[in-house]
Structure 1
Amino acid sequence: MIIIETLIGAVVFVAVYVAFVKLDYYRRKAKFETSDMPVAYNGLLGWKGLRHMLTVFNNDIGPVGWREVFATYGKTLKYYAFPSNTILTYDPDNIKAMLATQFKDFSLGLRKEALAPSLGYGIFTLDGSSWSHSRALLRPQFSREQISRLESVETHVQEMMSCIDRNQGAYFDIQRLFFSLAMDTATDFLLGEAVGNLQEILHPEMPRTGTTFQVAFDRAQRLGSLRIICQEAFWVVGSLFWRRDFNNTNQHIHDYVDRYVDKALLARKEKSEIYTNPDKYIFLYELARETTNKITLRDQVLNILIAGRDTTASTLSWIFMELAKKPDIFHKLREAILNDFGTSCESISFESLKKCDYLRQVLNEGLRLHPVVPVNLRVAVRDTTLPRGGGPQGDKPIFVAKGQKINYAIFWTHRDKEYWGEDAEEFRPERWETTSGGALGKGWEFLPFNGGPRICLGQQFALTEMGYVITRLLQEYSDISIQPSDAAVKVRHSLTMCSAQGINISLTRAKEE
């Protein structure tokens, strides 16, 4: 009898609490002139929503897994997924509000707590004054002078071409090579020494530690993404049966970078030649001029490494997949590159890359169709609104309560037929021919590098490196094909997006004339 009374009391308490919360929500909502948005309740406590999110994650379905949800409810909706709910949107007006016009109404929310054990507290995970300090610390490191230094990139491109040539025209996974190339160029720039992923492919008999670091870095991102999916229950990933994997992965990447941090601080202390040489730019050594805090240095390196490696590697991989599927575009681009640069790397520079129109169009189209960060998160720090999503037509403002999570899906903004036409899901660089305004050239419907105050510091660095790599490969290779497959492309969506099964193509060396 006591147990029954206790259960009844608990049920009544929960019912009263839920009623109170709802009444408080509607009281606060009444202060704003807003309309209701569509709601996907997804079963008791949103268990179907959580199941859907985990299915998409585990089966490498990627952002495509949200097609049916948006088709059913529209561009903006409230989506219940245990243990809470989120607003999903890909409306560019809402994205503009969160990232720019109402920037101070939103924060990164759970990202810091979910990712800090792996990435620490850097520009990718911080908010507020701490983020402003990190951005000010990093901004000088991405000056035009630094992003224009392409000599070190050429060294690693030569190594990559040696890896390609070993296949003798057979199919190979170019995504693996691009991630190795990007890790080598990024660590060369950041740490002053490449981790040697490409050398390890060329000389497997001489194992290095670079590959184990890359594997651990990928695993840290995968577990971090799972923690974000779990929302307020993020702590589960990092405990229970994930504990050892999570801790060992984080320890590995921290120990690896710490070795370079110690070298930089020692060079600063001893004022060694590598520290004082103005012709040898090393990101970490320059950063060590501003702070000697070991944890800060490590955290900033890991935060920048995500952007520096993944943006370049993922985008190049997707672009070459599209070029292999449409070799006519490959040949058109190669002709444009040969016309502008010939067959030598000597004429390739930051300035000349920006002037090659068709190369710019191909880069834009690759970033549009395959954005590196396809879905991102914000959380309201006060009661506020978003401009669209309410009413029968979805064109009225909606109420956003303090603490409300919002996932914005750039992936679907970039594929919205309202802005991109009926062929929005086709790779067609020519759609950029009539677009003015340089490399970005669009409004909030095109957002490959985020926007507003948090716009990516390294976007010109990434565009320059990607343009250089494409140019060099198309100078040296005259034909391309993709390995036939009946299977749909699976998308590994961790913090960033890449192909889950690799991208197998062949490249044919150009004949010397």
Structure 2
Amino acid sequence: MFLAVLYWLINDILYRIAAKKAGCSIPIKYFHWDPFLALDLFYQRLSDMRAGDSVATDRNLLKKYGKTVQTNAWGIKQYVISDPVNIQTILATQVDKFGNEPMNRKMCGDFLGDGVMTVDGHLWKKSRQMINPVFARAQVSELSSFEKQLSRMMEKIPKDGGTIDMQPLCKQLFLDSSTEFVFGKSANSLSPETDSPIARRLPGIFDEALVSMFTRYMMGKFSFMAGSKKKFLAQCKEVHDIIDGFIDEEIELQKFGTNIDSAGPYSYVLLKEMVRTTDDRRAIRNELMNVFFPAHDSSAIFLSNIIFLLARYPNKWDKLRAEVLGIGKQKLTFELLKSMKYMQAVMNETLRLHSPAGGSWKTCLAPCILPHGGGASGKEPILLQAGDQVRMSFAPLHVDPDIWGKDAEEFKPERWENLKQSWNYIPFMGGRRICPAQQNVLTDVACIMVRLMQRFKGLENRNECYEYVDRIAFTRESRNDVKVGF
């Protein structure tokens, strides 16, 4: 204990000297009852997660201490941040001094491997160049295949006003669409005649592996204590075997000269292009995993959350439906959907209140100065050192009354009528690591909402619980599902 205290004191003195030399102030700090491992804050996070409010810990911290506060995470300095200027510094102006790799590669590597979400530097650039065409403008505009899958989902919704849980249905839809544009072959989970082992097993085992991976992430350098490593690796292997099946099939097709120029409904399929450029099966699988993970999960939760909110605000449903009916029978295109102002406002407002991603974690790779976080006001610059972690908390930022007003926690799409997006609103991140699928997601979700409103006049909430109670495993979704009647 004595040596631990001495080590902490020496490091604190050296930090103060370095900060003063850099012209920085001392950061505002959270007082830990356990200053060495921060078990107090860890248990508070667990308690809030179990209560269904996973962002409460950060929200309360930032409300009490300011928009940048230094905490401890398993013995490592971690800055919890909702200050938009500091977030812009991390994601844009000083982006090279922060990376995903130290945390993501270690905690997520067994499942996701090396790919666009887990690596930095030249490896990240190579991955990003490979996946960018999947989300190119021409690809985003290809709605024909998506509409085919959407029509299958629509057939499963009761036409007599019966209750249905839309959350699993949304997940099935995006499972089918994401497997098609990533692997070139849909899981067809919504097709009534399908008895595919992929459709039956992939979603369940994928979610199980995500929960295990998230638990390891939460445990930080003590991840070896986060349940059975053997069980987690078995979950990873089962998912990898399914993905490897797609890869082996495509390699055989290209080997014999078939299916080379056909991408099916999409002009660019990631698997086909990767098989053309490399024969490294592991590298192919890693990249596919890094794209498939957010493509099928986050999009489905986003759509579910729109339905969740509109079911509780029938006047907003009516207003949006009036806009939808106003476009008549025009063919749905990227340009048309983008021009629907209230549709865009509803989507923005949903992401503001209930983004599937509550935040982002990065590691400082080199000494860096953040503009805010020091001094009594919290407005003076602070020095971050290599190895420090930053926990950018988007959820508190998106309901900050200083930015959004006293009605910040209300669902009010009208606020977007004259509001321009800035670093106050980052559901898709920002800077060069902004989510490449942003326009793809917004287009697909808008298309779905148009078709729902063209078919159904109204929407009713059928959940017993009115409030949004979350469940988290990297993404935040409604714990009570999304039970509605159309």
TM-score by length of 2: 0.94
1:275 pairs with one of 244, 260, 273: 260
Where structure 1 has 5 or more consecutive residues not aligned to the other structure, the ranges are 1-10, 436-440, 508-513
89-98 or 365-374: bigger deviation = 365-374
Q: Distance in 2 between matches of 1:146 and 1:287?
A: 17
Q: Does 1:360 align with 2:316?
A: no
TM-superposed CA distance for 1:486, in Å, is: 4.2
Q: List per-residue Cα deviations over 1:470-502 (Å, max 9, x = no partner).
A: 111111111100015246432112211111221
Q: Distance in 2 between matches of 1:95 and 1:318?
A: 25
Q: Does 1:236 align with 2:236?
A: no
Is the Cα–Cα contact under 8 Å of residues 48 and 81 in structure 1 kept in the other structure?
no
1:260 pairs with one of 233, 241, 246: 246
Distance 1:325 1:372, change over 3 A: same
SS at match of 1:313: helix
SS at match of 2:464: coil
Q: Does 1:75 align with 2:62?
A: no
2:291 pairs with one of 291, 304, 315: 304
1:343-358 to 2 correspondence within 5 Å?
344=329, 347-358=331-342
SS at match of 2:425: coil
Q: Distance in 1 between matches of 2:231 and 2:470?
A: 23
Q: Does 1:178 align with 2:170?
A: yes
Partner AA of 1:121 in structure 2: D
Q: Does 1:495 align with 2:474?
A: yes
Q: Distance in 1 between matches of 2:263 and 2:478?
A: 40
Where does residue 403 of structure 1 map in the other structure?
387
Distance 1:81 1:418, change over 3 A: same
Distance 1:280 1:66, change over 3 A: closer
Q: Distance in 2 between matches of 1:365 and 1:51?
A: 31
Is the Cα–Cα contact under 8 Å of residues 158 and 164 in structure 2 kept in the other structure?
no
TM-superposed CA distance for 1:42, in Å, is: 2.0
421-430 or 277-286: bigger deviation = 277-286
The CA RMSD over aligned residues, in Å, is: 1.9
2:353 pairs with one of 363, 369, 375: 369
Q: Does 1:419 align with 2:406?
A: no
TM-superposed CA distance for 1:381, in Å, is: 0.9
TM-superposed CA distance for 1:37, in Å, is: 2.5
1:52 pairs with one of 44, 51, 73: 44
Is the Cα–Cα contact under 8 Å of residues 63 and 375 in structure 1 kept in the other structure?
no
Is the Cα–Cα contact under 8 Å of residues 121 and 300 in structure 1 kept in the other structure?
yes
Where does residue 203 of structure 2 map in the other structure?
214
Q: List per-residue Cα deviations over 1:34-54 (Å, max 9, x = no partner).
A: 122321232122220121122
Which structure is larger by alpha-carbon Rg, 1 or 2? 1
Q: Distance in 1 between matches of 2:416 and 2:3?
A: 59
1:3-402 to 2 correspondence within 5 Å?
11-44=1-34, 45=36, 46-108=38-100, 109-165=102-158, 168-199=160-191, 202=192, 206=195, 208-237=197-226, 241-272=227-258, 274-277=259-262, 280-281=265-266, 282-340=269-327, 342=328, 344=329, 347-402=331-386
Distance 1:493 1:207, change over 3 A: same
TM-score by length of 1: 0.89
Distance 1:484 1:284, change over 3 A: closer
Partner AA of 2:117 in structure 1: F
Where does residue 462 of structure 2 map in the other structure?
483
Is the Cα–Cα contact under 8 Å of residues 380 and 400 in structure 1 kept in the other structure?
yes
Q: Distance in 2 between matches of 1:133 and 1:209?
A: 29
Distance 1:251 1:329, change over 3 A: same
SS at match of 2:428: coil
TM-superposed CA distance for 1:455, in Å, is: 0.9
SS at match of 1:377: strand
Q: List per-residue Cα deviations over 1:45-70 (Å, max 9, x = no partner).
A: 22201211222344432213433222
Q: List per-residue Cα deviations over 1:216-259 (Å, max 9, x = no partner).
A: 1112222222222112222333xxx4223311210111001100
Is the Cα–Cα contact under 8 Å of residues 202 and 242 in structure 2 kept in the other structure?
yes
* Fraction of identical pairs, as percent: 28
298-307 or 226-235: bigger deviation = 226-235
Is the Cα–Cα contact under 8 Å of residues 131 and 270 in structure 2 kept in the other structure?
no
Is the Cα–Cα contact under 8 Å of residues 116 and 125 in structure 1 kept in the other structure?
yes
Q: Distance in 2 between matches of 1:242 and 1:57?
A: 21
Where structure 2 has 5 or more consecutive residues not aligned to the other structure, the ranges are none
Is the Cα–Cα contact under 8 Å of residues 91 and 433 in structure 2 kept in the other structure?
yes
Is the Cα–Cα contact under 8 Å of residues 353 and 395 in structure 2 kept in the other structure?
yes
Partner AA of 2:198 in structure 1: T
Is the Cα–Cα contact under 8 Å of residues 169 and 506 in structure 1 kept in the other structure?
yes
Q: Distance in 1 between matches of 2:360 and 2:406?
A: 25
TM-superposed CA distance for 1:449, in Å, is: 0.9
TM-superposed CA distance for 1:207, in Å, is: 6.3
Q: Distance in 1 between matches of 2:75 and 2:341?
A: 48
Partner AA of 2:275 in structure 1: A
Q: Distance in 2 between matches of 1:79 and 1:203?
A: 53
**Moved segments of 4+, more than 4 Å:** none
Is the Cα–Cα contact under 8 Å of residues 463 and 482 in structure 2 kept in the other structure?
no
Is the Cα–Cα contact under 8 Å of residues 359 and 394 in structure 2 kept in the other structure?
yes
